[in-house]
Amino acid sequence: MVSGTAADLVASLTLGWNLGNALDAPEDETAWGNPRITPELLQSVADAGFDAVRIPVTWSKHMSEGPDFTIDPAWLNRVEEVVGYARDAGMVAIINIHHDGAEGFDAVEWLTLTDADGNTTDANNAAVRDRFVKVWTQIAAHFADHEHDLLFEGMNEIHVGYGKPDPRHLPIVNELNQAFIDTVRASGQRNADRVLVVPGYNTSIDHTLAGFVPPDDTVPGRLILSVHNYDPYLFALRAEVKSWGQGSPDTDQGSQEAAFDRKFDRLKAKFIDHGLPVILGEYGCTNVEGAEDYRRYYVAYVTASAKERGILPFIWDNGGQGTGAEQFGLFDRATGEQFQPELIEAMVDAGKGQTTTNDLVAPDVSE
């Protein structure tokens, strides 16, 4: 049972894990190469030291056409089953609307800031909001009596491109957040005071600091802000750079240890210190052969830096077992076995506060 405020909840948790490339695969949970989710997998993650799980869900291919956009009951039931696995493992769970808002996903993306011609229009905003409300009305109704160890997250990384956002788009994201809050609260039962998670534009820390406006809520202290971070992109995501940190012999794109500290300090000062807790809903570093020490140092440092400022991190895991870009697997999805036990141990120690940023030593570049 989750009680108290959202801030109390965030403070009580150690570390979060993402069940990526599963229920967020548009066609089916096995469409992107991972096996069906099992209770044993969630128990293995919990046993490793994670006490929260973010379960991304893509709904587009599991609903009818408009005007009703009716979600397939079998899909809702499967999502509920996986949420139950998390609960049985003693984990707090978050479900969301995920790749329905993924830019460039043909036949999937509908949660957009522009129409099919790339224009920002009142008509597109109204159509998106109508579908968004109808989808959340159904999700909220299905889970209305579920215990408070289930959180809802309104949407994922809603954006148009990765450059400076169109200033018209920042308030549209804020308006969708408000629609999400209003829709869930109106569904009643345990949704009347369920903890809800809202993002800023593209979950970018910089854009969130610049343009996020907290939605109004009917109950105080039951909202969480979510941001993501995969900086530096060429190291953490693309594996084109194989080292990180102040002592790195390679480039960091300006995203070294102090840069993370500054970003998290700003989030704390603007939101956490004013009663709005923050989660780092996604972060991570892809597996690269020969860069294991840098990866372990990076993940431990970012985890520790976030936790020292009261931010709860959720590591991204997509099940990828290889080396190179987008290989974020930490657990074997079939067996629950740990791919990277030393990395997981370093991360969990940082999550528990047993390792701080002052304790961490960057890899020796002379070796």
Provide the annotated active-site residues.
157, 282
Among 28, 155, 46, 160, CA closest to 92: 46
197: left (phi over 0), alpha (psi -120 to 50) or beta: beta
- The alpha-helical segments, DSSP class H, found in the chain are 6-12, 39-48, 73-88, 122-142, 169-186, 205-211, 233-236, 257-270, 292-308, 341-351
Among 146, 139, 138, CA closest to 92: 146
In which residue are the tokens 């991204």 written? 316
Indicate if the alpha-carbon torsion angle 335, 146, 311, 112 is positive or negative.
positive
The C-alpha angle 351, 357, 362, rounded to 5 degrees, equals: 115
Q: H-helix or E-strand containing 330?
A: none
Which string of b and e fits 159-177 if b means at least 16 CB within 10 Å? bbeeeebeeebbebbbebb
Q: Would you say how long the chain is, in residues? A: 367
CA 192 centroid distance within chain:
23
147: Cβ contacts below 8 Å, ≥ 6 apart: 1, 2, 87, 190
Among 259, 156, 172, CA closest to 211: 172
Q: Which two tokens stand for residue 361?
A: 């030593």
Check: CB of residue 343 under 8 Å from CB of residue 287: no
Residue 55 burial (10 A CB sphere; 0-12, 13-18, 19+): buried
